[in-house]
């Protein structure tokens, strides 16, 4: 699958909910398997369907150490379909993040530290999960893609943008973290 790049119209369009009749189908299962493979091949820790030119509200949160995020926590990839934010913390955290659709750049973005989410699994079953820290950041980043935004929409100053190569040398190396 080809990953949409910043400037392509699909990244500005809100995603549509997956209809009930699509749950459990081979078409949905095949698409989500291909979406996960695309994310893994690109060393991402999350991906949303609009990033591969699909307008459905589908995303993965899949934190794991990688060249782009060497200190990310390990988790099994989690598929979230039709996610909705139930609540988010008042506490916000500033941190650097990157995006497969905004290659070679990092942005210093403020996001809630915690988020509670309702979503459906591959069979349409209702689920809830609570994310915090880096996992909350991944979810909120991917959720932005479902509402037609990227991290660039959160930037208020060019001081909040850095080349990823510089970030990897200066920021990640200094802090020992790669959020």
pLDDT of residue 71: 81
Residue 43, classed as helix, strand or coil, is coil
| Phi, psi of 27, rounded to the nearest 5 degrees | -60, -45
The pLDDT tens digits for 76-131 are 999 999 999 999 999 999 999 999 999 999 999 999 999 999 999 999 999 999 99
Give percent of the chain with pLDDT exceeding 70: 95
Residue 102, classed as helix, strand or coil, is strand
Does pLDDT of 175 surpass 60?
Answer: no
pTM: 0.92
Residues in binding site:
99, 141, 145
Q: Name all domains of the chain by residue range, CATH numbers in brackets.
A: 9-175 (3.90.45.10)
CB of 94 closer than 8 Å to CB of 107? no
Residues in binding site for Fe cation:
99, 141, 145
- Give the chain's mean pLDDT: 93
From 21, 76, 142, 164, the catalytic residue: 142
| β-strand partners of 60 | 47, 79
Instruction: Mark whether 142 is an active-site residue.
Output: yes
DSSP H or E segment with residue 83: strand 78-88
């Amino acid at each position: 699958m080809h990953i949409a790049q910043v400037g392509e119209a699909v990244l500005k369009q809100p995603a549509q909910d997956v209809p009930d009749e699509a749950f459990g189908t081979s078409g949905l299962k095949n698409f989500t398997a291909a979406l996960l493979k695309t994310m893994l091949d690109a060393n991402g820790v999350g991906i949303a369907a609009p990033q591969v030119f699909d307008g459905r509200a589908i995303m993965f949160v899949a934190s794991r150490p990688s060249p782009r995020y060497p200190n990310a926590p390990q988790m099994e990839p989690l598929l979230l379909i039709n996610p909705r934010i139930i609540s988010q913390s008042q506490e916000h955290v500033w941190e650097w993040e990157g995006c497969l659709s905004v290659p070679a750049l990092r942005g210093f973005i403020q996001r809630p530290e915690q988020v509670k989410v309702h979503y459906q699994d591959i069979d349409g079953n209702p689920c809830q999960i609570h994310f915090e820290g880096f996992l909350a950041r991944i979810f909120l980043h991917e959720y932005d893609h479902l509402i037609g935004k990227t991290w660039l929409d959160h930037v208020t100053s060019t001081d909040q943008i850095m080349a990823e190569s510089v970030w990897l040398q200066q920021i990640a190396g200094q802090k020992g973290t790669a959020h």
